[in-house]
Amino acid sequence: MRAVPAPVSLIVRGLVRLYPSSFRQRWGSCLEAESRLAGWRSVPSLVAGALDIWLHPMVWPARTPAERRGRALVLAVAAAGVTSLLTHVLIEFDDPVAQGLRHAGSLQFSAGLLGLGFALVLPGPRIDRAVIRAVLRSCTPFLIPALAIGVPVVVAANGGMTDVGQSALRPVLLGLWWATLGLAAVAGCRAFAALTTVLRPAGVRRARAGLLCLIGSSVLGAGAVAQVAAAGDVGGSTGPLLSVGALLGGAAVLVLVLRDLASLPGRPS
């Protein structure tokens, strides 16, 4: 057996670690061994495989269909939440588009669909100590930094510090504010993931309805941004284009989840 160069071995090991832990526990050693033998040629396929497997969590090893469904819904919540947050960040720094969207009825309807979709995919309600502990254990590492950054930023903004000559302090505070929202989004996704491990995930029918709402929200949001950008003077700004791309990309991920969900029985569970 020919020797495998050390750099190849290190890169392969690092790329295999990008795969989900449940996948690595079952197939990780075989995948790593085969990729080492293939050498550099295995690198593109490892990267593509990692991306593909993260986009299809329902194919990961699982003990029950409910566990697969819960993983798929975590991906859906993350995709919808992150793309929505990214869109707001991009639009916030584009005044013409932001002004036009404040009166866009379709965007308000999109936000309503987003909230309804999140409500539908939430696990069944049950509050006890085990649930609270699981949620806090999962989201606290990100929620505490979010509060530590966000509270001073809100105090500074309400104190008028952003109005002093539009100085360099304003973009710094905006950056910190969006970093706060990013940390809060991660905390929210982790909290949702924790809920799906201690509570029964939403049934197949309710999950499908929620996914359709999230897809509709993303598509409507992309349409609203595109319409306002086309009607207004945005100059050479790339914010609207990136926003539309983010929303449609999130919708594409949600469609994948919906398609994977169709492989499960349609009866409620």
Digit-by-digit pLDDT tens for the chain (269 residues) are: 455 567 778 888 899 999 988 889 888 889 888 888 888 888 899 999 999 999 888 888 888 888 888 889 999 999 998 888 877 776 666 556 666 666 666 777 888 899 999 999 988 767 778 888 888 888 888 889 988 988 888 887 776 655 544 556 777 777 888 888 888 888 888 888 888 888 888 888 899 999 999 999 999 888 888 877 777 655 556 667 788 888 899 999 999 999 998 876 544 43
Give yes or no: residues 21 and 107 share one domain. no
Give yes or no: residues 33 and 128 share one domain. no
Give yes or no: residues 98 and 172 share one domain. yes
Give yes or no: residues 32 and 145 share one domain. no
Q: 186 lies in a domain? A: yes
CA–CA dist 164, 37 (Å, integer) = 62
What are the residue ranges of helices labelled H in the chain?
6-16, 21-23, 29-38, 42-54, 65-92, 95-101, 105-121, 129-158, 169-198, 204-231, 239-261
Give yes or no: residues 144 and 16 share one domain. no
Q: 196 lies in a domain? A: yes
Structural domain count, the chain: 2
Give yes or no: residues 45 and 173 share one domain. no
Q: What is the pLDDT of residue 150?
A: 85
Q: 92 lies in a domain? A: yes
Task: Give me the half-sphere count of Cα atoms (radius 13 Å) on the Cβ side of residue 209.
Answer: 11
Give yes or no: residues 69 and 44 share one domain. no
Q: What is the pLDDT of residue 161?
A: 59
Q: What is the pLDDT of residue 237?
A: 64
Q: What is the pLDDT of residue 269?
A: 39
CA–CA dist 226, 97 (Å, integer) = 9
Q: What is the pLDDT of residue 162?
A: 54
Give yes or no: residues 78 and 161 share one domain. yes
Q: 267 lies in a domain? A: no
- Please give the distance of CA 44 from its chain centroid, rounded to a whole number: 24
Give yes or no: residues 74 and 49 share one domain. no
Q: What is the pLDDT of residue 64?
A: 84
Give yes or no: residues 74 and 103 share one domain. yes
- For 101, the domain range is 64-261
Q: What is the pLDDT of residue 167?
A: 57
Give yes or no: residues 33 and 111 share one domain. no
